[in-house]
Amino acid sequence: MKKLILVLIFISFSFAIAQTKNKDISRVPSWAKQAVWYQIFPERFNNADTANDPTVEDVVNIWPYIEPEGWQITPWTSDWFKRQPYEEKLNNYDYYQIQGMRRYGGDLQGIIEKLDYLKDLGITAIYINPVFESPSLHKYDAKMYRHIDNNFGPDPQKDIEIWNTEDPLDASTWKWTTADKLFLTLIKECHNRDIKIIIDGVFNHVGTFFWAFQDVVKNQENSKYKDWFTINKFDDPNTPENEFDYEGWIGVKDLPELKEDENGLIKPIKDHVFNVVKRWMDPNGDGDPSDGLDGWRLDVAEMVNLNFWKEFRTFVKNINPEAYITGEVWWQDWNKDKMFNAAPWLQGDAFDAVMNYRFARAVKNFVIDNKNKINSSVFVDSLNQISKDYNEENLYVLLNLMDSHDVDRLASQINNPDLWYDHNANPSQNKEYKVEAPDSIGRLKQKLIVVLQMTLPGAPTIYYGDEVGMWGGDDPDCRKPMVWSDLNYEDETTHPYGLKRNIDKVEFNMDLFNWYKNLISIRKNNPSLSLGTVSYSAINDNILSFKRSYQDENIYVIINNENVNVKINLTESIVPGNMGYTDLISGHEYLFKSDSILELEPYQSVILK
């Protein structure tokens, strides 16, 4: 009886501690409301260590599964669409069929050496595309989760030797490779600069070289991992054919799907994933997460049972209550241009945020489109619908992006108006797609969009290179090597299908960089732009104003979304009169009366305080 009482006391005490822990976890991390995000595609950001560059052996195991004669690293500054010498020999292959074999050599050291650049820009958080070991350039086909890709680190061969000493399922046998250690250095260097860092977690599927799947390929129904995947048919060793068949992500056999039940990933996979999560969030296992990742971006999150993400959240937040979890919850019906309302994932028990593609589409329709253009009232309706769908806390930490590794770049969206977002957005999908950079008017539109990103509710998110003027269509053309100011780039003169095009000079756009830097600074120095309430006023079809208020700070944003000069009658409902204001963008000072006129140039914005 005494033992039973002690057990009950222990259970009650443990439950109380668990409850206390949960109470200490806020709905969203406090830092995320004021974050300015920057997304990095690591293979294309910066090559600081050529000694770790991939070799031809690293690309033969990906589609189209050939070993090109004379393969070599593609020069960082080369004309994007120009075929390299080894590619010219592959005349039977379309340009887009061979693009996946290219490597430019971006690595972790390259990111570390550019952290001061990001700090100078004003970035406070970075999201990095997958970094775990895999054969592809994008790393969404993991070979393992426990190690960083060896070509991102300083000693690829030594890392392979370390892998081979471990039991992939037994976390107690896992060691730290040279790439792993450099990644931990990257985390430390980010934190030293007050920059948060999250990475992609791809837990819906893996690559065909994933260690557990390889065991199934080898041992078939005798594999102890056969239940980790949905196997339609095992191979019959008595026939010359290979009948082995399994389920891949949206039918893609290169990406075997991980097995789920009614609670999401089955227990053995869940346990493995949680061991991986703990490894990267608390690397030395001392209970202090300051040396680990600050959160996760979860790939194709809607394709994993929500019950798993709820358990995932609990696990992650118990490691670090201030960790940030954002999911890719995007297309409900791509063919009908219907995006998800992500509210089920944002109830306080799963994700803190999602990638806010609904925001991107609304801005595109308002600022970029011509024939399909929406007016300011409809734009406000779109924004208000997002606000209505999501809790205010979650709304303020959504990743307000315009582009990413999965869509055409912002500059190319501007140069190709009136397309559905993420549809027909490169020459392989649409032969009329313009591969050139936008003109000067297009850049004015881009600047206006930056104003919206930095002043509307939600966390602004910049895809690497947008701030220096990079352009490019949908994947793979949105994944060009980063343009740096100290490098000389070839002009873009070629078209993937030999069509006529304008010649574009590829160079660091300092004017645009300074615009981004200034707008980021304005957001960071004025809490109402990240923490404040918002109220809108659609003055006419193309003129929008809105007010952000926090504590005793009020800021008024007025934009002219039209290629004409305009004069705006400033009524009390737009800006209170008989007061002095400073435009935080230009520094120009105004003294408005109740009947003042504000003149704006084409696509000009003012942020009045």
570/588 Cα distance (integer angstroms): 17
Structure tokens at 367: 């600022």
Tell me the domain boundaries of the chain: 33-205+262-521, 211-253, 532-608
Return the C-alpha torsion angle 531, 537, 539, 542, nearest 10.
50
Do residues 293 and 281 lie in contact, with contact meaning Cβ atoms separated by under 8 Å?
yes
Residue with tokens 């129904």: 221
Identity of the residue numbered 467: E
Residue 247 is predicted with a pLDDT of 98
Residue 369 is predicted with a pLDDT of 98
Identity of the residue numbered 191: H
Residue 81 is predicted with a pLDDT of 98
Residue 8 is predicted with a pLDDT of 37
For 442-457, give one letter per residue: b (16+ CB within 10 A) or e: bbbbbbbbbbbbbbbb
What is 532-608's CATH topology? Immunoglobulin-like (2.60.40)
Residue 571 is predicted with a pLDDT of 86
In the residue annotation, 116 being an active-site residue is answered as: no
Identity of the residue numbered 556: Y
Residue 158 phi/psi, 5-degree rounding, is -65, -35
Catalytic residue among 299, 311, 352, 474: 299
Query: In angstroms, what CA-CA distances link 301 with 152, 305, 352?
Result: 26, 8, 13
Task: For 76-120, write each residue's pLDDT tens digit.
Answer: 999 999 999 999 999 899 999 999 999 999 999 999 999 999 999
Tell me, letter by letter, the H, E, C secondary structure of 106-165.
CCHHHHHCCHHHHHHHCCCEEEECCCECCCCCCCCCCCCCCCECHHHCCCHHHHHHHHCC
State how beta strands 260-261 and 264-265 pair: antiparallel
Q: Does domain 33-205+262-521 have CATH number 3.20.20.80?
A: yes
Structure tokens at 144: 């393992």
Residue 61 is predicted with a pLDDT of 86
Catalytic residue among 260, 294, 328, 403: 328
What is the pTM assigned to this prediction?
0.95
* CATH architecture for the domain at 211-253: Alpha-Beta Complex (3.90)
In the residue annotation, 299 being an active-site residue is answered as: yes
What residues of the chain score a pLDDT lower than 50? 1-23
Q: Dihedral sign, CA of 110, 111, 116, 122? A: positive
Structure tokens at 591: 């003294």
Nearest to 542 by CA among 561, 556, 557: 561
Q: Dihedral sign, CA of 138, 142, 147, 150? A: negative
